[in-house]
Amino acid sequence: MIGLNRQAIEFARDAVEEYGTDPNYFDPVGKVNGSASVAGDAHNASYARHLSRLSEYFEVLDAQTMYELTGSRHYRSGLYTPGAVMLQPAGYIRGLGKGLRRSVGLHENSAVTKFAKIGSDWCVKTLKGSVTTPRVILANNGHLESFGIAKGRLMQLFLYASMTPELTKGDIANLGGQSRWGITPSDPMGTTIRRIDTGQGGNRIITRTCAAMRPNMITSKADLARALKVQQEKFYSRFPQLAGMKMQYRWAGHLCLSLNSVSMIKEIEDGLFSACVQNGLGVTRGTLTGIAAAEMACGEVSEITRYFIAEDQPRRLPPQPFATIGANAYLRWKEWRAGKE
């Protein structure tokens, strides 16, 4: 899996270079797992032992180093691993879109409402037109279910984030630390914090925590309100020097997972391919699933294709409403257990 992930990173790196994307949007700075508790230290220590067995390089960061990086006294320690890339997601995607327009048609704001087999081709319909094609790749993650595929097998989750206003010179002086960094929590259900600078869209801090399962793929104002309340508390606990600062933006992001952590990469019907279910593993897994589906559609086989073809199908979820009630209770418990992380 490490080898495949590195192939995906190199694929993205090549695309950024080929399309002339702003290098600020693809920053190969590595990754820091932050710890704020004894339990967090234990998580990082376990991770470090695992990396040692894999002969992967890492560095242990002490509390002072974490303070110099973030400007926060919240963190007891950190575990740094090189090789990972910090994306500015909007900039990266726009860069891909700009580059692709050189050779293919790209139609935004053209939501597909349905598609159907007509003879040997597929007719894909939008509100204002249609396309007829022998092959279709569905790269719509959880919305695979919206077309009746893999019903009852996909977990539709929302994660929540908020972002500060543009930091003033006074805020930056009070904050300290470096101008660009990201901290992932040692506990997966903890809080991710990221600081960006002018090269990535402005001097701001982003807080990401809270999760909810929503099988209808729609979040609610109540979900957003709860997440924002928690995020404000997490933000103030890390940056008391910025106490009173309110978030300017808040949003929810849609993830799709399977119970057995597999993706949905297959030829569903003749000429209809799926590149879905990223299991919360983001652009790296999405790049791999996209490559696999594209190779399948073209009749090509690679190490990536073989990996996904060998996976089982997503397991069926328990019946509703038990699946949603149970999942959300479990998520809340895991959030509580993460504590200071």
Taking the CA atoms of 4, 9, 12 and 17 in sequence, report the sign of the dihedral they define. Answer: negative
How far is C-alpha 180 from the chain's CA centre?
A: 19
Query: What total number of domains does the chain contain?
Result: 1
The predicted pLDDT at position 337 comes to 87
Q: Identify the helix (H) or strand (E) that includes residue 118.
A: strand 112-118
Q: Identify the helix (H) or strand (E) that includes residue 26.
A: strand 26-27
CA distance 74 to 191: 12
Burial 186-213 (b: 16+ CB within 10 A, else e): bbebbbbbbbbbeebeebbbbbbbbbbb
Phi first, then psi, for residue 227 (nearest 5°) are: -65, -45
> Residues with Cβ < 8 Å from 54, sequence gap 6 or more?
2
CA distance 335 to 187: 9
Please choose, from the candidates 9, 8, 3, the residue with its C-alpha nearest in 3D space to the C-alpha of residue 289. Answer: 8
* Per-position pLDDT tens, the chain of length 341: 999 999 999 999 999 999 999 999 999 999 999 999 999 999 999 999 999 999 999 999 999 999 999 999 999 999 999 999 999 999 999 999 999 999 999 999 999 999 999 999 999 999 999 999 999 999 999 999 999 999 999 999 999 999 999 999 999 999 999 999 999 999 989 999 999 999 999 999 999 999 999 999 999 999 999 999 999 999 999 999 999 999 999 999 999 999 999 999 999 999 999 999 999 998 999 999 999 999 999 999 999 999 999 999 999 999 999 889 999 999 999 898 888 99
Q: For residue 58, is it within any domain?
A: yes
Q: Identify the helix (H) or strand (E) that includes residue 275.
A: strand 272-276
Q: For residue 180, is it within any domain?
A: yes
CB burial of residue 7 (10 Å; 0-12, 13-18, 19+)? middle
Q: For residue 317, is it within any domain?
A: no
The predicted pLDDT at position 53 comes to 97
The predicted pLDDT at position 30 comes to 95
Q: For residue 105, is it within any domain?
A: no
Q: For residue 68, is it within any domain?
A: yes
Q: For residue 74, is it within any domain?
A: yes
By the 8 A CB rule, do 118 and 94 touch?
no
CA distance 31 to 44: 13
Q: For residue 7, is it within any domain?
A: no
CA geometry: angle at 7 spanning 50 and 69, to 5°?
55
Return contacts of 287-295, CB within 8 angstroms, 24+ apart.
287/8, 287/11, 287/12, 288/4, 288/5, 288/7, 288/8, 289/139, 289/263, 289/265, 290/137, 290/139, 291/8, 291/11, 292/265, 293/137, 293/139, 293/265, 294/137
What are the tokens at 190? Answer: 């903890």
Q: Distances in Å between the alpha carbon of 186 and those of 36, 141, 331?
A: 8, 27, 16
Please choose, from the candidates 149, 131, 155, 132, the residue with its C-alpha nearest in 3D space to the C-alpha of residue 269. Answer: 149
CA distance 53 to 67: 29
By the 8 A CB rule, do 81 and 56 touch?
yes
Q: For residue 136, is it within any domain?
A: no
What domain range is 249 assigned to?
A: 31-82+156-258+328-338
Residue type, 28: P
CB burial of residue 180 (10 Å; 0-12, 13-18, 19+)? middle
Query: For the domain that residue 47 is a member of, what is the CATH number?
Result: 3.30.9.10
What are the tokens at 68? Answer: 């110099």
Q: Distances in Å between the alpha carbon of 241 and those of 122, 145, 188, 210, 238?
A: 58, 45, 26, 24, 9
The predicted pLDDT at position 322 comes to 86
